[in-house]
Structure 1
Amino acid sequence: MTFKNNKKFYSVWILLILVLAFLNGCGKKEKQTEHEIKSVKDLAGAVIGVQLGTTGDIYASDYEKEGAVIERFTKGADAAQALKQGKVDCIIIDQQPAKAITDKNSELSILDEEFKKEEYAICISKDKSKLKNQINEVIAQLKKDKTLNNIINNYIGDSTIGKFPYQSPKDVERNNGTLTIATNAAFEPYEYMEDGEIVGIDIDIAQAIADRLGMNLIVQNMEYDSIIGAVQSGKADVGVAGMSITEDRLRSIDFTEPYTTATQVIIVCKSGNLVETSILDSIKLNFLKDNRWKYLTDGLLMTLQISFFAVIIGIVLGFIIAVIRTACDMTGKGKILNFVCKTYLTIIRGTPAMVQLLIIYYVIFSSVDVNKLFTASIAFGLNSSAYIAEIVRSGIMSVDKGQFEAGRSIGFNYIQTMWNFILPQAFKNILPALGNEFIVLLKETAISGYIGIMDLTRGGDFIRSRTYDAFLPLIAVAIIYLIIVMFLTHIVSCIERRLRIDV
């Protein structure tokens, strides 16, 4: 079945997706709440949305014994979208991010009653007491000379926003190495993306600390619930992400002195509020404003790079494993190598790709400063090699044994026979399965964001975190993946036709 024959089929699906996008953008929606929240007392029995791993998550969990259901999201923007769609009754989140959410979503509002007071601090590994003391000294200095106050006022306060931008001194000597911070750039105004850069209160504070310590600042963006793990494993020196000190966190991580106070608040949906958005306005907001389309193009480039290198690793290692296993089956030799290969296949095929990615990044390479592209390529390459190995082995075993015996009878050794006779025939048999494996690998890279890589899916997430619109960014990401898959399918079909002609 060729790409040409399937062109109409794919076109219909793309057209259907675009029609759904249009209907979603043009339709009116009315919020219908199941459990109306007017005060903290109404949380019992409600469906509460929180950001995973935050103090809002911790505090909201106390209401589970009172019948509340906690829905955990990786980003506050996702929780806001769920609230707008009626999937949750309210959101518990920090006050300033809550203001950012309600400013961009007129149908949402913050209850006047405060939920909980807290303090933000910088998390740091328990074995870095020297660095902790240095940072505490700098925080005290920043408070004393009002630099800290100015940084906060530059982002918070109607009369002060934009009036106190932090500027690094030009005469700073950065001879003391680097200060690597882990953050989650979806928490405006503390850390968020603007014009392709990570900005916010916490980022400016971290820069000020690096300036005072004579260090270069490196910012690693990742999921919120991965920050403490990154600090513990040494992938980051500190975690700066609007993080509160809790007893549970203190069991595994240390904190500096608090640098600001914050308040947890409750966001609800306004009763009977109607929302009307045109598809054109949605496109402008999601893709054209602030050149947000670049998140998708940059993410696509990273996805293709990871997929390319992972495919190379998977093919090379997969073919080697397949040949070793086949040689043992045919000749009975190399049983130890065969056992090692079988153990490897069992482990890789028996554990999720995401777990493997996290283990490689946070455990195996915990003490090594490696490029994230390299880490992801290794992880996905190893995962793919296990499946490619079994695909290739099944293809080799499908070739008639007489072909192998014929090659040996005319003077070829085992390797020569395998290379010149068996593998070319096996390749024709396994090509469809290999093509499918490459497609699966491409889509699996969507989990790269868990180690802070800006891939295609994460690019869509960044757009959603700024616009609070889930539909169009997700549809855009889906269409891009679909086009790539269609292209790969076309290439595989062309190769299949060529091989049939050559037979």
Structure 2
Amino acid sequence: MNTPMRPTILLIYLALLLLCTAVDGSCSMLATASDLQDKRIAVLQGSTHEAYAVRQFPRATVLQYKSVSDMLLALKSGKADAAIYSRDELMEYMRASDEFGFVGGPLYRTPLSIAFHQQDAGLLLSFNRFLQQIRTDGTYDGMLKRWMQQGAAEMPKLTAAGAGKPLMVGILSDNGLPFIVMKENRLIGFNIELMERFGIFCNRSIQYVDMEFGSQIAALAGHKLDLIATPLAVTEERKKRVAFSDPYYNVDSLAFALKKNIAGAGRSSSDTPSFFSGLAGSFQSNIIQERRYLLIWDGFKTTVIISVFATLFGTLLGALICFMRMAKSRLLSAPARLYIAILRGTPVLVLLMLIFYVVFASVNINPVIVAVIAFGMNFGAYTAEIFRTGIEGVEKGQTEAGISLGFTRTSTFFQIVLPQMVRRILPVYKGEFISLVKMTSIVGYIAVQDLTKASDIIRSRTFDAFFPLVMVAILYFLISWTLMQAMGWLEQKTDRRRVLR
């Protein structure tokens, strides 16, 4: 009797599933925050929203993202059912796109403060005095009215600027208005004005360091930053690592989702454009509007600079490691073997973070230089083995013949072994070179604005998931293709068989 019942139960289950889908998704529609218990919730990694979601929705799947633009992309592409973020930034997103809506009311309220190093009490006291002063003279109320109520999108003209020693200020450029955003290749927002006025107050110039939200407290603790101006909620856990100023604003956090998934929210009023009109609109908004091509150009230059100089440094370092690796003395070969084993077994992202936050923790160094060093060290470990394989592939009899003809060992290597080695290793060397170019896309973790970071900034302003990513993919392809052509030309020049033809 059980056998014929199983198909019946299966048919009933399928019918109920189809019924839920047919009624415009009403079985899974979101009405209040309690409906998120078994949903996929997107949050910003390291934020109070992440801790709240884990604590309040234990049966939900909490998805952590590095940037706000990635969260929005996850929602729009259906990778997440809802997300949690701050009301003020969400209002700006919703003014730009009517696809999103709130799920219920505010979840919780937190004060926002500027974070300082725990040992920098003098700078903290100076900021608190500054905050008290602008509240007393009415400047603070004017800032609130301009950014929070009127939705300003331009920075006011300040009569002066700090000229002293730079303050390294950590920010997240795609945080969103009213706090921080990149417009026309310039940072604007409430927190940016706050920092500029603070620089005037203490006669210090402001140097912004744009980095991932989850890396900022570690950078502050490692003296890479003097303070964090990204909207940062005060929590007991964070107080153990940083010192907070007096609160400068209180913010509500809410859950939000696509309107089509919210009960009673209606539908987005935007019509789907044709392919070509949509492409033209995307080009206008992602490239032309607010001169965003400048972001792309700056990111393009940074990517090329890191790729080329890391390759040059890695090639020279690889040649040195190869020489040590092939030396008869164990004092030279043993360290070279250990270097190759460690560097080839360490993810390049981990190496990049270690060099930036540990090796150069107390050194004020340009992160582009750190990226060149990290990628060069990684590239050197691989090229050392490539060089060794190429040298060992040349018959030893040729070296012996060169010496018997009166050549020194050095001249024998450079005139007989090296040309053959180069011809043998170039195909593999090219592959490693292109891999390095693509690996540079992670330099945003140490506040380097490369092509990938430029794409993130643009996506945070345009809410376009397709165009910026495809554009960056094409640009990476063009960089790789151009460098491959240059390497191919070098390969032809070193191929004696082609020259003799």
1:47, CA displacement in angstroms?
A: 1.0
The partner residue of 2:208 within 219, 240, 246 is 219
| 1:396 aligns to 2:391 (yes or no) | yes
Contact 1:98 1:110 in 2 (8 A): no
1:33, CA displacement in angstroms?
A: 8.5
1:429, CA displacement in angstroms?
A: 0.3
Q: Counterpart of 1:93 in 2: which secondary structure?
A: strand
The partner residue of 1:62 within 48, 55, 68 is 55
Contact 2:162 2:202 in 1 (8 A): no
1:266-345, aligned counterparts within 5 Å?
266-271=255-260, 273=267, 276-277=272-273, 278-326=278-326, 328=327, 332=328, 334-345=329-340
| 1:48 aligns to 2:41 (yes or no) | yes
1:348-497, aligned counterparts within 5 Å?
348-497=343-492
Q: How many residues align?
A: 463
Structure-2 change in CA distance of 1:168 and 1:311 (3 Å): same
| 1:209 aligns to 2:198 (yes or no) | yes
Matching residue's letter, 2:31: K
The partner residue of 1:168 within 149, 158, 161 is 158
1:93 and 1:120 mapped to 2: Cα distance? 14
1:415 and 1:226 mapped to 2: Cα distance? 49
Tell me the residue number matched to 1:28: none
Tell me the residue number matched to 2:499: 502
Q: Counterpart of 2:147 in 1: which secondary structure?
A: coil
| 1:185 aligns to 2:173 (yes or no) | yes
Q: Counterpart of 1:38 in 2: which secondary structure?
A: coil
Contact 1:154 1:162 in 2 (8 A): no
Tell me the residue number matched to 1:114: 106
1:263 and 1:236 mapped to 2: Cα distance? 27
1:169 and 1:292 mapped to 2: Cα distance? 27
Structure-2 change in CA distance of 1:112 and 1:153 (3 Å): farther
Matching residue's letter, 2:466: F
**1:420-451, CA deviations, whole angstroms, 9 ceiling, x for partnerless residues?**
22111111000101111111111111111111
**1:436-468, CA deviations, whole angstroms, 9 ceiling, x for partnerless residues?**
111111111111111111111111111111111
Report the identity percentage.
30
1:293, CA displacement in angstroms?
A: 2.2
| 1:142 aligns to 2:134 (yes or no) | yes
Q: Mind listing any 5+ residue stretches in structure 1 that lack a counterpart? A: 1-30
Tell me the residue number matched to 2:5: none
Tell me the residue number matched to 2:218: 229
Instruction: Report the TM-score, using the length of structure 2 for normalisation.
Output: 0.88
Contact 2:89 2:176 in 1 (8 A): yes
Matching residue's letter, 1:369: N
Q: Counterpart of 1:453 in 2: which secondary structure?
A: coil
Matching residue's letter, 1:276: T
Structure with greater contact order relative to length (CA < 8 Å, sep ≥ 6): 1
Structure-2 change in CA distance of 1:386 and 1:162 (3 Å): closer
Tell me the residue number matched to 1:249: 238
Matching residue's letter, 1:445: T
1:76 and 1:115 mapped to 2: Cα distance? 19
1:34, CA displacement in angstroms?
A: 7.7
**1:237-288, CA deviations, whole angstroms, 9 ceiling, x for partnerless residues?**
0011000011121122221111111110111211273651322222222222
Tell me the residue number matched to 2:86: 94
Instruction: Report the TM-score, using the length of structure 1 for normalisation.
Output: 0.88
Tell me the residue number matched to 2:66: 74
Q: Counterpart of 2:229 in 1: which secondary structure?
A: strand
1:154, CA displacement in angstroms?
A: 1.7
2:131 and 2:484 mapped to 1: Cα distance? 56
1:323, CA displacement in angstroms?
A: 2.1
Structure-2 change in CA distance of 1:298 and 1:161 (3 Å): closer
Matching residue's letter, 1:342: R
Instruction: Mark the structure with the bigger radius of gyration.
Output: 2
Q: Counterpart of 2:105 in 1: which secondary structure?
A: coil
1:450 and 1:252 mapped to 2: Cα distance? 20
1:294, CA displacement in angstroms?
A: 2.2
Contact 1:116 1:264 in 2 (8 A): yes
